Amino acid sequence: MRRHLSIPVLAALFAAACGAPASSETATPSPLKENPTMSATQFTSINGKPLDLTALGAKAILVVNTASKCGFTPQYKGLQALYEDKKDEGLVIVGVPSNDFMGQEPGTEEEVKTFCEINYGVTFPLTRKYHVKGKEAHPFYAAAIDKLGKDAEPGWNFHKVLIKGDGTPVKAYGSKVKPDDAALMADIEAALKG
C-alpha cells in the first residue's frame, strides 16, 4: 500500500530540501504539481538536461507537441517569431517532439534539433522526444487534461497548451490554431499580465 503525504508535509520537505525555512503557512501547490509523483512539469531537454517548466522564470509557457514531417511543421517559423516577440515579456515556448502521429518525427533528438535550428532558426527550448497521447504520454498531458478537459489531449502535431509560469493550465488549442491567432495572442497577453 502506497503512503501519500499531505500537502503541508510535502511543502515542508521541499522547503527543507531547498534550504528554505519551513513555513507554518500552507503553500498553494502548482496545479500541475499536485501529485508530486507525476512530475508533470519536469521534462528532459533535447540536450539531455533537466527541464522543469516552473523553473524557467516565465510568466506564461506555451507547450507545443512538434514534428518535423507534418503539414503543420511550418508553424515552427511562427512559434519562433512569437517567442522572439514576447520572450522579454516573460513568454517561453517549449517544443515537445513526438512521433505519435503517423510517424512524423522519426529522427533522433540530434536530428530534430539540427532540423529545427537549420530550417527555422529555433532558439526556444525543445525537450527530448516524448509520447503525448495514450498510456505512455508524458504526465504533463494527463495533468493538463485533468484540469482543462479533453481539449488538452493532442489530436495531432502542433497542438498547444498554454500554462502560467507556476504551472497553472490556462487553455488548450488545436493544431490548426496558428501562433499568430488573435485568440491565442489575447490569452497569452492575459497570462503575461498575471
Please list the active-site residues.
Answer: 70
Separation of CA 4 from chain center: 26
DSSP 8-state code for residue 30: P
Is residue 104 a contact partner of residue 69, using CB atoms and an 8 Å limit?
yes
* Of 81, 36, 86, nearest in space to 61 by CA: 86
Range 159-162 contact pairs with CB under 8 angstroms and sequence separation of 24 or more? 159/64, 159/65, 159/132, 160/62, 160/63, 160/64, 160/184, 161/62, 161/63, 161/64, 162/60, 162/61, 162/62, 162/63, 162/187, 162/188, 162/191
No. of helices (H) and no. of strands (E), the chain? 5, 6
Is residue 132 a contact partner of residue 166, using CB atoms and an 8 Å limit?
no
